[in-house]
Chains A and B, each alone.
Chain A
Amino acid sequence: MSFLKRKKNRKRAPLSGEMELQITSMADIFTILLVFLLKSFSTGAVNITPGAGMILAQAQAAEAPVEALKVEVSEATVAVEGTPAAPLQHFEFNPGDLESQGNSKALSLVLERERKRQVLISQNNPDVKLDARIVIIADERVPYQTLKVVLASAALQGFTDFKLAVIQKE
């Protein structure tokens, strides 16, 4: 008997309206994906999120981020812990805002408030020590002149351990 004839004679199983998807393998894939995403999500307690439109510089020799006061320098503003502290015009401070020591009046006021808050906490809680660390999250287009003002303002309030946030290059 030829192959065609045999095929013709074979009885087809009755078609059922019910169909079952084989989803066990799909569940496996989803579990692996979920574990991978959970792992790469954000494992540490430190959260550094650059603002919209901000381009961070890249570096290879970067270390793990630390939890400290965050100062963000973007095109239009300098923000301390997400709150705008001093306005900028195309990455530059308003000349009227600058003081003789090279710091910004507006930024220094906000940083001074933060420092006082830290001092108050450390006075009431002996376990908490004054932290000199400050994380600078600056756009890569910021001129050094602006950065100098930010650093000088921070240094005047006792924040002298600068941590510059960068994107880690592979």
Chain B
Amino acid sequence: MRAGESQDFELNLASIIDCFTVLIAFMLATASFLSIGVLDAGMAAAGAEAKSQAEPPPVQLVLTLRKDHSVLLELSGRESRKEEIPALGQSTDLESLGARLKATQGRWSALQSATLQAENQVPYRDVIQAMDVTRKTLPAVLLGGF
């Protein structure tokens, strides 16, 4: 070490702070804190299930969302049954829907998919909510009615 040179030095942080301030302001302005995901939905078409699976499931389940927020569950195949879940005020009774789906899946463990359809005026939000609840019990949800 040369005489007179000190090892004690200070970084000039002012310019770094300037850069950081501009960068953070830019990122805060452009950042989106919403996390967007996707819900996987297939298309319910005649014969599609038979093609994709070697052995078709013993029962088929069709959920129909109605404009008055009630839901119709239709089971066909080895068990044929229709069940209606009445609306919960001005919304769909998602809790009951989840419970009924679990009960149905408990009886028919081979049941892994459901077809979801809705009346024309049912908003997309209700379809997504019903789909979200259904997917907790049945992994595959197919959109139908078209």
Residues of A at the B interface (CB closer than 8 Å) are 23-24, 26-27, 30-31, 33-34, 37-38, 40-42, 48-50, 56-66, 102, 135, 138-145, 147-149, 151-152, 155, 160-168
Contacts and interface: CB of A to CB of B under 8 A. Distances in A.
A57 B38 contact: no
Contact of B36 (A60, A102, A162, A167): A167
A148 B128 contact: no
Contacts of B100: none
A140 B37 contact: no
A41 B39 contact: no
A86 to B, nearest CB: 16
A147 to B, nearest CB: 6
Contacts of A65: 36-38
A138 B41 CA distance: 14
Contact of A142 (B31, B123, B146): B123
Chain A interface main SS type: mixed
A139 B124 contact: yes
A143 B121 contact: yes
Contacts of B127: 144, 147
B40 to A, nearest CB: 6
A37 B31 contact: yes
A1 B30 CA distance: 63
B46 interface: no
A53 to B, nearest CB: 15
Chain B interface main SS type: mixed
Interface of B: 13-14, 16-17, 20-21, 23-24, 27-28, 30-43, 45, 65, 117-125, 127-129, 131-132, 135-136, 143, 145-146
Nearest to A160: B43
A147 B145 CA distance: 10
Contacts of B36: 48, 50, 56, 65, 165-168
Nearest to B48: A160
Given A41-B31, A151-B43, A27 B13 contact: yes
A151 B35 contact: no
Contact of A102 (B21, B125, B131, B146): B146
Contacts of B123: 140-144
A29 B17 CA distance: 10
A57 B33 contact: no
Contacts of A34: 20, 23-24, 27
A57 B13 contact: no
Contacts of B118: 144
Given A27-B20, A33-B24, A34-B23, A143 B122 contact: yes
A63 B13 contact: no
B13 to A, nearest CB: 5
A164 B37 CA distance: 8
B136 A135 contact: no
The 7 closest A-B pairs by CB, nearest first: A62-B37, A145-B120, A140-B125, A30-B20, A57-B128, A148-B146, A163-B38
